[in-house]
Structure 1
Amino acid sequence: MAKRGSRRRAAARPDKAKPERTGWRLWLRRALLWGLGLALLGLLFLGVSVLFAARSLPTYADLKATQPGQTIVVRARDGTELIALGPSYGEWLDSSEIPQVMKDAMIAVEDRRFHSHFGIDPVRTTGAIIEGLTGDDRIGGTSTISQQLARNVFLNSNRTLDRKLREAVLAMALEWKFSKEQILELYLNKVYFGGGAYGIDSASRRFFSHPATELSTGEAAIIAGLVKAPSRYSPTADVQAAVDRAQVVLRLMKEQGKIAPDASVDPSAVNLKREEGQNSVRYFTDWALPQLDLLLPETFEPIEVWTTLDVGMQRAATASVQANTPGGAQGALVSLDRDGAVLALVGGTDYVQTNYNRATDALRQPGSAFKLFVYLAALEAGYTPDDKVVDTPVTIDGWSPRNSSGGNAGETNLRTAFALSINTVAAQLGNEVGFGTVASMARRFGITSEVSTFPSMVLGSSEVRLIDMTRAFAAVSAKGNSVEPYGIIRVTTGDGRTIYRHDKKEAVQLVPDYVAAGMTDLLQSAVATGTGRAAQIGRPVAGKTGTTSSNKDGYFVGFSSGITTGVWMGRDDNKAVGGLQGGRAPAQAFAAYMRYAVKDRPVEEFDTELTLPEWQLEPDDEFYYGDPGEYYYIDEQGNLVEPGTGEDESGGQRQPPFPIEGEIGPALDRPRPPVTLPGRAPPPSGSAASDDFLEQATGRGDPPVRAPPPRQVAPPQPRQTTPPPAGSQ
């Protein structure tokens, strides 16, 4: 009975159903399961990829026999060989022959977990993938030694996410197939150290004049520091940069216990091999050749690069910069043909002393050469070279520019103000058209660096690149059409097959041709009678000087006979250079170079004829007095005369129009014209004009119709807080 009762109680109790997951818990569980499944599939796919990559890798002996690098012959526009670039290899060193300090230095700076990872560093690689997925397609500083070896042997240097993924797979395949010692041996014998040197033995012989088996700790630190940026840290280009980088390597070696914490190593005491002088062509090739990565498909075969460089012009440019640059200063020059071809490029006074390219990389203040954009904006806004302006002291939001002369000339015209580089007029013009408008004009003409909108920007306080400024002036020379600098004409393989040819880009009209003509007029005046007189070469020249405060920078940019040339001079440490002015040494260097550059070109007169748009033309007499067949007008009795009738509303004969005193302005001495009223019905026939109609006809109801008076620069209005002014001339 007891058992039967317990069964009944058990049957009476309802079964407790297991609760079902709903809502976010269900979706979280599904997401975790799907994520785990996808991760497993990803790992499986990665493993298969690594396995196939490892099976397809060459043998160790084949990798030792195959040296990376590409032979490149660079030619001038006439076919003259400028320079031959290619790999230089020393003796292959087995792992046992490589000094341990060289191995330790390389691992310390490039891959501290080299002996513990499986080809990729998970932390660094994850960061690279996230960086790529967030939109930055330039991924760098994440490669292990195995990845660098894979890139150097099998891939190119494009920093994209796709290439990084392939690099990671190949790195793991290398780790699968070869030992750590083999990978390090391959790396140290194949990595590029700059100057055409591949492998530590070639680098040691190039920089220290002895084989790598004799490397000291300081020398090993210098070589290890080169891998990150061979050209920047090259001891033959910048000794101090190489030493500073070596100190970083030594610090890392101490932190990782590779050398004693109290070890004293002085990389600056290392004896460097002296290098024979190289001409300034290397400034040009350093700028042009990196573009091959973008212009060419991936190729390792020998190539010939035909460039735009003119050998004679390059020699003349080098000589003019070296002869005219003040002592202790640097100079740079860029010269463009009318289509943007770079004819000459000098990035400094001595390439061996420093290979820093001041023509293409340095950001320096252009001084008053920047007024090009101020006056372009003013001309586009309606000014003409003959318009009257006033040189008077001005203050714009607390900033009071001064003229280099120390005084003010009073009323003058736009042409003279530009030729004499009057700062107060430039400030007023910039204030009137808007400093943002001036900045926009600079960007329109190819200025790629940041341009401020402080009032002092009109005097060149924003830093720019010389090649960009030269490009902007070249666009004015091209009648307002855009100009794109380029240095490579075509690329051919060893058997003569063309794999790249420069295609001329369609020019964009940056400003109307009448604006370019007006700007050319101003630029020509600056050379003929203004601050740029030292740039005269016996034929028409248009250009502008620039000098920054305390004579830290000197600028001259100009053009003649289709060639546009820009010159900059100054110190790398931005200290003042005594007597440096844009109208002196830079203008003299410009003239010395241009006399040679244009000697075989016909003399070209500038087109400064202004064909103004209709809205900017001075009205003729017909506008003022009216055509009887086209205008309503009011006779002496106040009656409305209909167009084309010759009679007024009362039937009388039409009388000549009389001037109606109104708001034409004091600049006009001639009578006020009748007013055309298109689309407005006259008052009823037989009556004089109503008061409302008279107000419309005389301009008192609507805004007055004004003929343009002589232009006056608007008084300055407060705008923005301004930094210290930049320059004067």
Structure 2
Amino acid sequence: MATIKPQKKRPPSSSKKKTQIKFNPTRAFIRLVFLLLIWGTGVVGILLVYETTQLPDISKLNLKPRSAGTRLIASNGVEFASFGDLYRKPILFEKIPKNLINALLATEDRRFYNHFGFDPISIIRAMAVNLRTGSIIQGGSTLTQQLAKNLFLTPRRSFRRKVQELLLAFWLELSFKKDQILTIYLNRVYFGSGTYGLQAASHHYFNKSAEFLNLYDSALLVGLLKAPSRYNPIVNPRLAQKRTSQVLVNMVNAELLTQIEADLAFDSKSIIARAIVRGSGHRYFADWARDRAVAYSGYTAKDRKVYTTFNPKLQQQAEKSIAAGLRLGSKKGVQQAAMVVLDKKGAVLAMVGGKSYTNSQFNRATQALRQPGSALKPIVYLAALNEGYKPSSIISDTPLTIGSWSPKNFDGRFRKNVTLTEALVMSLNVPTVRLSERIGRQHSINLARKLGITSELKNEPSLALGANEVTLLELTSAYVAFSNGGYPISPYGIENITVPGEGIIYKNQAANQPSVAKIEQIEMIHELLSDVIRSGTGKNAAIETDAAGKTGTSQGYRDAWFIGYSGKLIAGIWLGRDDSKSMAKVTGGGLPAEIWSNFMQKATAITN
């Protein structure tokens, strides 16, 4: 049997080499980037699909909610205030001035007709400019994106809103032609002062249809789009001109205008068809008139055009006189003031409701109930004249006690016997109370009601001294009857109200009320009030022409009044504090009378 020998293992042949795989970082990076792109594209795709499902209902393009607008027109026919959103009938593309379209494209989106709703070139250019200047002075949004934002989205900035804005912009580009997008944009964009759309802005600022806008008008309106409040030509005329100039420069740079044409346009500026009412003091009248307009016209979804009695020139003078008086009274503790100006029919021509409308919208001329003091006395004296008393009638000025109350004269003195003329001219309290008690307080209350005072009047002895609180407007309105032959009025600020398609829906028709006294008695009270200014407590109210009025000071110097009339105007002034603390011996015959004189001297020149 043969023996098998075990074979020895051979060592590996040196001719066979091991296979090694080398790591290539470049190739790995490319693979990683490729995978990230795939995953990123997938995530973006899912995100876009999701955001598409979250978009607003774009089928309701024409159903943007809005509140009915109210435009207030002054007595000179010029709009001076507005509330709510103001729209007009949309303008067709063919009617839009070419200059306005060029101004819009040169300023907001020069590549509008070359992009698909999103313009990467504009974004890159804006980023370069912003980086170079170190601040954000240019944006990259296209007009289509702006339209998408204005129509469907909120102003809040977020990444999600930007994605939705892009998707909506693409949808608009697919659904409408470029000219249609421009037309929708211009009919919906906000131009400031509550105006939406080109037509509303054109009528608001220039009082003409948009199709008649010239080059400067067009540049100004386009300039408003960047910051409607900042570049408002009514509030900031200088900034508006500067912005308009920049729009004209943009048109020149875009080769849509020559430099000569731009210079000519800027040199021939349009007049803004708006009342030049500086500050915000006129807003007291505007708020008061707006509330009445809503009450008179009821609910309407249409814009109201309210024609008012407001006189811008008288308003400016009233504000100047009050401001000057407040400066003088600041050292005497005077913190607030109010003033109303009426004509003999009861039309409210001007109204100052406080020191600053910006700081306080509370209207002290129509809402504040204050004690009028002796400013109420003329009603008591006219009631006495109606009962047969004469200006020469004698009334006792001796100590008087009614129950536990003993009235005193302002100077603490008694004069035994005085005439009605002396008692009213010197504003004596004791004879006035005695007169009121003799004729019966109810006679004074009844007359006050006929004169239009609706505030509570308590049947108490202090009634004759103005202890009951009234508003400045109602007491000044009562004085109108002293100036017009005795005919009481209801103060009003609205002549008529119109709405588109319906015409006049409200017209003021003041009822002719019977005289509160015979003409003889009205002439007597007029003469008494004239003597107050000629030789009595109202000397500081004297002016170059005939005037009549009465001073009033409440207990503790908390209120100081002067109400009077001259020529065509009746004006009432109140000074005091909102906290009802005492002033430093400010009386109605002092600062209020001086303010009244200052105003009336200039106001009579305005109305004559």
- Fold-level similarity (TM above 0.5): yes
Q: Does the 8 Å CA contact 1:561/1:601 hold for their aligned counterparts?
A: no
Cα separation, partners in 2 of 1:88 and 1:336, compared to 1, 3 Å: closer
Please give the secondary structure, in 2, of the residue aligned with 1:599.
helix
After superposition, the C-alpha distances for 1:237-282 in whole angstroms (9 at most, x for unaligned) are xxxxxxxxxxxxxxxxxxxxxxxxxxxxxxxxxxxxxxx9942110
Give the drift of 1:64.
8.8
Give the drift of 1:80.
2.3
Match of 1:612 in 2: none
Aligned-partner Cα distance in 2 for 1:439–1:417: 20
Give the drift of 1:60.
9.9
Match of 1:76 in 2: 74
Match of 2:461 in 1: 455
Cα separation, partners in 2 of 1:398 and 1:289, compared to 1, 3 Å: same
The AA in structure 2 aligned to 1:396 is I
Give the drift of 1:456.
1.2
1:529 to 523, 532, 535: 535
Please give the secondary structure, in 2, of the residue aligned with 1:503.
coil
Cα separation, partners in 2 of 1:61 and 1:374, compared to 1, 3 Å: farther
Aligned-partner Cα distance in 1 for 2:431–2:532: 15
Give the drift of 1:71.
2.6
Match of 1:589 in 2: 595
- Kindly indicate whether residue 401 of structure 2 is the aligned counterpart of residue 395 of structure 1: yes
Please give the secondary structure, in 2, of the residue aligned with 1:411.
strand
* TM-score, normalization by structure 1: 0.48
Give the drift of 1:91.
6.1
After superposition, the C-alpha distances for 1:600-639 in whole angstroms (9 at most, x for unaligned) are 556xxxxxxxxxxxxxxxxxxxxxxxxxxxxxxxxxxxxx
Cα RMSD between the aligned structures? 2.9
Please give the secondary structure, in 2, of the residue aligned with 1:598.
helix
After superposition, the C-alpha distances for 1:548-569 in whole angstroms (9 at most, x for unaligned) are 1111000111111131111111
Aligned-partner Cα distance in 1 for 2:304–2:437: 53
Tell me which moved more, 62-71 or 402-411: 62-71
1:511 to 512, 517, 520: 517
Instruction: Please list, as runs of the form range in 1=range in 2, the aligned pairs for 1:633-712 lying within 5 A after superposition.
Output: none
Give the drift of 1:372.
1.6
Cα separation, partners in 2 of 1:501 and 1:88, compared to 1, 3 Å: closer
Unpaired runs of at least 5, structure 2: 1-56, 88-148, 159-192, 197-276
Give the drift of 1:304.
2.4
Aligned-partner Cα distance in 2 for 1:300–1:547: 47
Instruction: Please list, as runs of the form range in 1=range in 2, the aligned pairs for 1:114-133 lying within 5 A after superposition.
Output: none
- Kindly indicate whether residue 545 of structure 2 is the aligned counterpart of residue 539 of structure 1: yes
1:349 to 349, 352, 355: 355
Give the drift of 1:516.
1.5
Cα separation, partners in 2 of 1:374 and 1:588, compared to 1, 3 Å: same
Give the drift of 1:318.
0.7
The AA in structure 1 aligned to 2:81 is I
Please give the secondary structure, in 1, of the residue aligned with 2:605.
coil
After superposition, the C-alpha distances for 1:101-148 in whole angstroms (9 at most, x for unaligned) are xxxxxxxxxxxxxxxxxxxxxxxxxxxxxxxxxxxxxxxxxxxxxxxx
Give the drift of 1:508.
2.4
Please give the secondary structure, in 2, of the residue aligned with 1:355.
coil
Instruction: Please list, as runs of the form range in 1=range in 2, the aligned pairs for 1:293-312 lying within 5 A after superposition.
Output: 293-296=294-297, 298-312=299-313
Cα separation, partners in 2 of 1:413 and 1:93, compared to 1, 3 Å: same
Please give the secondary structure, in 2, of the residue aligned with 1:492.
strand
More helix by share: 2
Unpaired runs of at least 5, structure 1: 1-58, 100-194, 199-275, 603-729
The AA in structure 1 aligned to 2:69 is T
Please give the secondary structure, in 2, of the residue aligned with 1:368.
helix
Aligned-partner Cα distance in 2 for 1:439–1:387: 22
Task: Figure out how many residues of one structure are paired with residues of the other and give that number.
Answer: 372
Cα separation, partners in 2 of 1:380 and 1:592, compared to 1, 3 Å: same
Aligned-partner Cα distance in 1 for 2:194–2:551: 40
* TM-score, normalization by structure 2: 0.57
- Kindly indicate whether residue 283 of structure 2 is the aligned counterpart of residue 282 of structure 1: yes
Q: Does the 8 Å CA contact 1:534/1:591 hold for their aligned counterparts?
A: yes
Aligned-partner Cα distance in 2 for 1:475–1:535: 20
After superposition, the C-alpha distances for 1:202-257 in whole angstroms (9 at most, x for unaligned) are xxxxxxxxxxxxxxxxxxxxxxxxxxxxxxxxxxxxxxxxxxxxxxxxxxxxxxxx
Tell me which moved more, 317-326 or 78-87: 78-87
- Kindly indicate whether residue 323 of structure 2 is the aligned counterpart of residue 322 of structure 1: yes
Please give the secondary structure, in 2, of the residue aligned with 1:65.
coil
Q: Does the 8 Å CA contact 1:551/1:581 hold for their aligned counterparts?
A: yes
- Kindly indicate whether residue 359 of structure 2 is the aligned counterpart of residue 358 of structure 1: no
Aligned-partner Cα distance in 1 for 2:421–2:508: 39
- Kindly indicate whether residue 573 of structure 2 is the aligned counterpart of residue 567 of structure 1: yes
1:334 to 306, 331, 340: 340
After superposition, the C-alpha distances for 1:309-344 in whole angstroms (9 at most, x for unaligned) are 111100011111111132251100011101111111
Cα separation, partners in 2 of 1:581 and 1:597, compared to 1, 3 Å: same
Q: Does the 8 Å CA contact 2:68/2:86 hold for their aligned counterparts?
A: no
2:441 to 432, 435, 442: 435
Match of 2:106 in 1: none
Cα separation, partners in 2 of 1:293 and 1:72, compared to 1, 3 Å: closer
Match of 1:444 in 2: 450
Percent of aligned pairs sharing the same letter: 35
